[in-house]
């Protein structure tokens, strides 16, 4: 059973034509039929032979067409032997997939020069904004695109349920019959679902030729591999599950043996037996195609991206989990020698940031900037400017650097939107910037594990306003996992929860001492995205890093003991996860004690800093203007709160709290 004829005739729909200097075989890019359906979902470029093939089918078919094309157009004796010719054609082939208005080039980590050659050919037909590369999860490919300043051209991974569903629908294709399968654009693999297979059953009686064609196509593709050694078709099954093909092959044989027979009882019985095996292996969650079903959607999504669904937290980017599937790389610039060349349509802020780093580091080899798509916190951020960027840089000596940039949330533009005149908006923004840095300085003097921030100021031209300053806070990127997004599997380890409890106690001290609360609701900011937990070589929590100090100094008068219950409620969530994972109550009690000890020790440590005769912490803002609500007044309230805190009472409150009982 061949998917296509062994004898290929380059005539009719396969007749080559010349188009802008290239031999073109097949329909035009994105050409559709009378129903508006694409005539082909795939293509192959052969850069060495300046040929593009877009015939419907599989990429192996395109290689066969290319082979026959060369045999018919090359003078006798000038082609190598058949095996060598096929090898050369396979090496030259660059597979394409058409998704919506985009062309996706299948990247090859061992042959990116050829991939980039195909990209240059495609750019003679389309702007490069419509051409993307696969390989987001392959380090070698990401590195080469980074070096070109083109991270933004990697085919992006969906970042929401809506985007995932759209991606799955766009991946649904046909090969040679009416059978619908889901196409992995990265590897070329296709996946057949149980639901789609069952649609063949009524055709056995209603349209036997179509049923036979679809079943033949399934068997043919199951036995084929593409030029990368990847199966052309697989069944959508849970990881580790397989199917025997005996009953499927028997169904085909029966249909072939009795093509004109009106009764199809034996074939139907054989089909039903295989279908039952398929359904049993698939399990309840994969028997029906349903984009709204989390299990089906997640499994298909993982197959199409080559991800083990059992390791969703270990996704492709070399970043902490909160950044996974959440970075949109933006058009920027590429560096050639001592020159930097910007892409068309680069955002003015992105261009300004790139120039900032370029001017301050002439030894850059590449720079890429991505926007963090969605906030990882559930806080109410309405009315705030919340642009966050990730900057990835490589220097000429091969060193990589990552930076996180956060646009000041109440910046000049925000203030202008509220009706404040430009000059006053700039003045108020600068005062707010100074206030932020004062808070950071104070937190560092009290010994809290915060990061060092610096300022980047850009001058952006806004139509109708003129030149407006934009302020960014910059910090280094640090690895770890934020405390409220720790994978559930970690809680099975008693050492993990005990060490985590200690760090969460330290984090609670930070929020309680500095009055980190929402100005809208008075809710304490704690364990909701700002506390980064770093792990040791054994994956045990070893260090706390406060990556953001949001809300500091908002509540400067409420006693620590009155704010503490909110922290205990958050802490309980971690204990519940541990208990649900089978942890003993003895370990839970030790974890509560570790939390209490860390909390009280840190508050005592801060008090010693404040009360030390040689310390200037208490008078830190004495030179600032006095008055209610000013930083001098706020700092005085915080100092009084620290001195009034009773560690013994706090420890007892934690150890005896009903909130932490199980």
Confidence (pLDDT) at 339: 87
Q: Which residues contact 398 (CB under 8 A, 6 or more apart)?
A: 365
DSSP conformational letter for 542: E
In total, the chain counts a number of residues equal to 662
DSSP conformational letter for 626: P
Confidence (pLDDT) at 103: 95
Q: Which residues contact 449 (CB under 8 A, 6 or more apart)?
A: 506, 543, 544, 545, 546
Confidence (pLDDT) at 38: 87
Residue located via tokens 């396969």: 14
Q: Give 10-residue mean pLDDT values along the chain (662 residues).
A: 62 88 93 88 94 91 92 88 91 92 91 95 93 84 87 77 83 90 88 96 90 94 86 91 93 82 77 95 87 79 72 42 65 87 89 92 86 64 71 87 89 88 92 93 95 92 85 91 83 94 97 93 92 92 94 94 96 95 93 97 96 90 88 95 95 95 92
Beta strand spans in 85-184 (E): 94-99, 102-105, 131-133, 172-174, 180-183
DSSP 409-462: TT-HHHHHHTT--HHHHHHHHHHHHHHHHHHHHHHHHTT--BPP-EEEEEEEEE
Confidence (pLDDT) at 49: 94
Task: Round to whole Å and give the CA distance between 502 and 593.
Answer: 9
Confidence (pLDDT) at 1: 38
DSSP 64-83: HHHHHHHHHHS-TT-S--HH
Q: How far is CA 309 from CA 174, 295, 300, 316, in A?
A: 25, 10, 9, 12
DSSP 319-377: S-GGGTT-EEE---EEEETTEEEEPTT--HHHHHHHHHHHHH-TTEEEEEEEEE-S-SS
CB distance 534 to 542 below 8 Å: yes
User: Which two three-digit tokens encode residue 318?
Assistant: 């070399």
Average pLDDT, the chain: 88
CB distance 511 to 525 below 8 Å: yes
Is the whole model's pTM more than 0.75, yes or no?
A: no
> Kind of pairing, strands 190-192 and 234-235?
parallel
Task: Round to whole Å and give the CA distance between 105 and 145.
Answer: 13
Confidence (pLDDT) at 337: 81
**Domain layout of the chain by residue ranges:** 12-100, 162-311, 322-330+367-476, 481-660
Confidence (pLDDT) at 313: 29
Task: Round to whole Å and give the CA distance between 242 and 592.
Answer: 46
Confidence (pLDDT) at 312: 36
DSSP 156-168: PPP-SHHHHHHHH
């Amino acid at each position: 059973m061949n998917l296509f004829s062994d004898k290929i005739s380059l005539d009719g729909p396969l007749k080559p034509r010349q188009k802008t200097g290239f031999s073109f075989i097949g329909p035009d890019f994105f050409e559709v039929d009378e129903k508006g359906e694409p005539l082909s979902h795939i293509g192959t470029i052969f850069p060495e032979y300046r040929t593009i093939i877009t015939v419907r089918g599989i990429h192996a078919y395109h290689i066969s067409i290319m082979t026959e094309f060369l045999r018919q157009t090359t003078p006798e004796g000038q082609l190598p032997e058949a095996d060598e010719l096929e090898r050369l054609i396979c090496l030259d082939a660059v597979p394409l997939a058409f998704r919506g208005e985009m062309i996706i080039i299948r990247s090859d980590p061992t042959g990116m020069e050829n991939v980039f050659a195909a990209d240059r050919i495609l750019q003679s037909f389309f702007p490069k904004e419509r051409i993307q590369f696969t390989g987001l999860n392959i380090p070698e490919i990401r590195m080469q695109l980074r070096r070109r300043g083109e991270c933004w051209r990697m085919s992006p991974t969906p970042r929401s349920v809506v985007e995932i569903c759209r991606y799955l629908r766009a991946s649904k294709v046909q090969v040679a019959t009416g059978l619908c399968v889901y196409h992995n654009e990265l590897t070329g693999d296709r996946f057949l679902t149980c639901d789609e297979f069952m649609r063949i059953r009524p055709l056995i009686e209603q349209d036997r030729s179509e049923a036979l064609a679809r079943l033949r196509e399934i068997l043919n593709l199951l036995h084929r591999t593409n030029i990368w050694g990847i199966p052309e078709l697989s069944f959508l099954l849970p990881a580790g599950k397989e199917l025997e093909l005996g009953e499927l092959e028997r169904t085909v044989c029966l249909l072939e043996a009795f093509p004109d027979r009106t009764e199809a009882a034996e074939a139907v019985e054989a089909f039903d037996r295989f279908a039952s095996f398929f359904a049993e292996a698939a399990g309840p969650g994969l028997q029906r195609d349903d984009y709204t079903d989390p299990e089906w959607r997640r499994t298909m999504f993982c197959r199409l991206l080559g991800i083990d669904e059992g390791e969703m937290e270990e996704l492709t980017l070399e970043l902490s989990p909160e950044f996974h599937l959440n970075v949109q790389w933006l058009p920027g610039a590429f560096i050639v020698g001592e020159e930097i060349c910007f892409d068309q349509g680069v955002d003015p802020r992105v261009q300004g940031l790139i120039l900032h780093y370029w001017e301050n580091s002439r030894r850059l080899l590449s720079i890429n900037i991505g926007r963090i798509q969605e906030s990882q916190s559930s806080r109410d951020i309405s009315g705030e400017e919340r642009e966050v960027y990730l900057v990835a840089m490589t220097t000429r000596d091969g060193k990589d650097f990552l930076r996180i940039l956060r646009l000041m949330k109440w910046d000049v533009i925000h203030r202008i939107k509220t009706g404040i005149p430009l000059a006053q908006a700039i003045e108020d923004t600068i005062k707010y910037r100074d206030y932020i840095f004062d808070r950071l300085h104070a937190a560092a003097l009290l010994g809290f594990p915060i990061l060092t921030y610096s300022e980047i100021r850009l001058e952006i031209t806004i139509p109708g306003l003129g030149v407006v300053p934009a302020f960014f806070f910059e910090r280094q990127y640090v690895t770890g996992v934020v405390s409220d997004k720790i994978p559930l599997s970690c809680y099975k380890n008693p050492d993990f929860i005990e060490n985590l409890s200690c760090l969460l106690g330290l984090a609670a001290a930070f929020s309680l001492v500095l009055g980190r609360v929402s100005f809208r609701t008075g809710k304490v900011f704690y364990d909701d995205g700002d506390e980064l937990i770093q792990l040791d070589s054994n994956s045990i929590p070893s260090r706390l890093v406060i990556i953001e100090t949001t809300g500091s100094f908002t509540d400067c008068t409420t006693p620590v003991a009155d704010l503490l219950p909110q922290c205990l409620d958050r802490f309980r969530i971690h204990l519940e996860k541990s208990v649900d994972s089978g942890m003993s109550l003895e370990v839970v009690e030790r974890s509560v004690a570790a939390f209490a000890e860390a909390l009280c020790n840190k508050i005592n440590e801060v008090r010693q800093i404040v009360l030390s005769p040689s310390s200037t912490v208490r008078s830190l803002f004495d030179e600032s203007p006095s008055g209610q609500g000013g930083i001098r007044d706020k700092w005085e309230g915080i100092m009084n709160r620290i001195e009034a805190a009773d560690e013994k009472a706090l420890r007892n409150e934690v150890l005896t709290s009903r909130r932490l009982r199980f």
